[in-house]
Amino acid sequence: MALWHLLLGADDLLRWGRQAPSVMWSTHATAEQVRALAQTRFDALLAHARQHSPFYAALYRNLPKRPPIEALPPVSRKSLMASFDDWVTDRAIRRRDVESFIADPARRGEPFLGRYAVWTSSGTTGLPGLYVNDQEALAVYEALLTLRMAGAGGAGFVWRSLAGGERMAMIAATGGHFAGIVSWERQRKLHPWLSLRARAFSVLEPIDRLVAQLNDWQPALLSSYPTMLAVLAAEREAGRLHLNPSALWSGGEELGWVESAHLQQVFGCPVHEEYGASECMNMAFSCDRGSLHLNSDWVILEPVDAQYRPVPPGEPSATTLLTNLCNRVQPIIRYEIGDSVTLLADPCGCGCTLPRIRVEGRRDDVMTLKTQRGRAVRIVPLAIESVIEDQAGVHDFQLLQTGTDTLAVRLVAPPGVPRQVAWHRVQAGLRHYLASQGVDAHLRLDAQKPQADPVSGKLHRVRVALTGPHHAASACPPAGRPVPGH
């Protein structure tokens, strides 16, 4: 291990230690104390952005020195990415260098310019994002994860597991520089003792091979998407997966209360949910009462209507504006993330005073396809989405399962790429991936563009659209995550 890696690992722990007391204190501080702390952090972030980001300096040029947050204009991924070099506050960061860095999968988890973590987002809006995170932000994310995930008992479990030598596993899209895998690999590279106990498994692996790998690894902590955890629950019920984990961690998609209860029953352990995004890794966490608590000391979420006007507690928002108080190198201030968030006014019985929210976020369908021998194969949506994005380079698409072995693809070609060329790339990527799963599916290009759900207005990129006496008609994913007692 190189000396600089050891030094960075020690620095990482020291930064975590500086953030930990504040995170623990504000978990049970009064609402007024947390609001005051968040306001102080917001004022500092705003001043830093105006001074060091040419993008924000121009955007806020005619605003007073300390305006209320509601007076600041919302921003979008499109506007920020278009002004990337002016958006960042470190003049040494250039978009071309970031793109060159992430073009090499082997550099996943390495520090960019010796001090930053870099990751990309999936292109759920048709436009991928590039995100640079400074060391203090990373320390905050780690403190929020290890000290709040699963409430008071979650932190104890993490440290007991590490001290006892138990193993951890994450199943995710490992082929690109996505936030989850970058954070995971960054910790493994910084801390050699962790690398021996933590493994990442690819969501693209055939399920039977993945089950065999997990049976061999026997993790005490298993982290993945809700759709993948549901597939693994079915494997355990069928007697093929032989795991008895101490906890499941769920993130990346919406986790419904019914699905959470089913996972707890099948695996016989708690299921802890985290709500985050590429723009802000740790926005909310679940407690042992099933509530989702907002990390409001480090995150400002504004549930708003279509005209960006605030909606009252108890009412689902049309969209949501995010302000990330952690990251100074790439300020996220009133950024539209698109999720529908409901602020819940009633306090939680767990004792945590941080606000409770309900989120209707990303959740696509698990497809069940048939092999030539008639065996059913379940396809996790984030797996097949990553194939289209990473291998074909197409980010604005919708995949419809129209039969037991037939798929229709709707797509918008990237700028400068003919539609047929994009389609051939998608075809090649899908055929290769599906063949690895034992499926020989019929693929066709649909004439329509990707279609949002007419009721929710959300674009579900992977949909099961089977019809007939044995199939439900094209259904939307479950509604927002219910909270017990409401």
pLDDT tens sequence across 184-200: 888 888 887 778 889 99
pLDDT at site 105: 85
What integer best gives the mean pLDDT of the chain?
87
pLDDT in tens, 411-463: 999 989 999 999 999 999 999 999 999 999 999 999 999 988 765 566 788 99
- Looking at the predicted structure, is the pLDDT value of residue 474 above 70? no
Rounded to the nearest 10 degrees, how much is the dihedral formed by the CA atoms of 171, 172, 175, 176? -150
The more confidently predicted of residues 284 and 258 is 284
Block residue for tokens 């995004």 = 277
Average pLDDT of the segment spanning 213-217: 97
Average pLDDT of the segment spanning 232-249: 95
CB neighbour class for 414 (10 Å; exposed up to 12, middle 13-18, buried from 19): middle
Query: How far, in Å, CA of 18 to CA of 376, rounded?
Result: 51
User: In the structure, what pLDDT confidence band is assigned to residue 13 with cuts at 50, 70 and 90?
Assistant: confident
CB atoms within 10 A of CB 346: 12
Average pLDDT of the segment spanning 92-108: 94
Average pLDDT of the segment spanning 321-342: 96
Three-class HEC string of 53-82: CHHHHHHCCCCCCCCCHHHCCCECHHHHHH
Q: Among 246-255, 412-421, 463-472, which is the least confidently predicted range?
A: 463-472
Query: How far, in Å, CA of 176 to CA of 260, rounded?
Result: 28
pLDDT at site 67: 94
pTM over 0.75: yes
Query: How far, in Å, CA of 360 to CA of 458, rounded?
Result: 10
User: In the structure, what pLDDT confidence band is assigned to residue 152 with cuts at 50, 70 and 90?
Assistant: very low
pLDDT at site 485: 33
Query: How far, in Å, CA of 167 to CA of 160, rounded?
Result: 11
Query: How far, in Å, CA of 158 to CA of 237, rounded?
Result: 27
Express as a percent the part of the chain with pLDDT over 90.
64
Express as a percent the part of the chain with pLDDT over 70.
88
Contacts of 105 (CB under 8 A, 6+ apart): 175, 176, 177
Rounded to the nearest 10 degrees, how much is the dihedral formed by the CA atoms of 355, 356, 361, 365? 150
Rounded to the nearest 10 degrees, how much is the dihedral formed by the CA atoms of 444, 446, 449, 454? -110
- On whether the CB atoms of residues 366 and 374 are closer than 8 A, the answer is no
Query: How far, in Å, CA of 203 to CA of 228, rounded?
Result: 8
